[in-house]
Amino acid sequence: MPIELNLNDIVELKKPHPCGDKRWKILRTGADFRIQCLGCGHKVMLSRVDLEKRIKKILKGEENESK
């Protein structure tokens, strides 16, 4: 069963990025995810399967304020 991931969620990955930060922000969802490192701003595209394997925990999700 897939993990519930939404736009603007902050996730912590198991291994750190070369800049030293483990926290990433989700910029795009779907079959492929676009994530951005919160340490240096580097953006990466990953498949859902790869991202779910790498996630250690979901830190927070920002709610959509306008509906």
The answer to whether position 39 is within a domain reads yes
Given a cut of 50, is residue 66 above it in pLDDT? no
The answer to whether position 22 is within a domain reads yes
The answer to whether position 5 is within a domain reads no
**Going by C-beta distance under 8 Å and a sequence separation of 6 or more, which residues neighbour residue 61?**
6, 8, 9, 10
With tokens 């897939």, the residue in question is 2
- pLDDT value, residue 62: 58
Look over the chain and give the mean of its residue pLDDT values, rounded to a whole number.
Answer: 89
Average the pLDDT over 21-38 and give the result.
96
Please check whether residue 57 is in contact with residue 12, taking contact to mean a CB–CB distance below 8 angstroms.
yes
Read off the amino acid at residue 61.
G
What is the spatial order of strands in the sheet that 55-60 belongs to?
43-47, 32-37, 23-28, 10-13, 55-60
Average the pLDDT over 9-38 and give the result.
96
The answer to whether position 4 is within a domain reads no
Share of residues in the chain with pLDDT > 70 (%): 90
- pLDDT value, residue 53: 95
The answer to whether position 19 is within a domain reads yes
Containing domain of residue 53, as a range? 10-60
The answer to whether position 3 is within a domain reads no
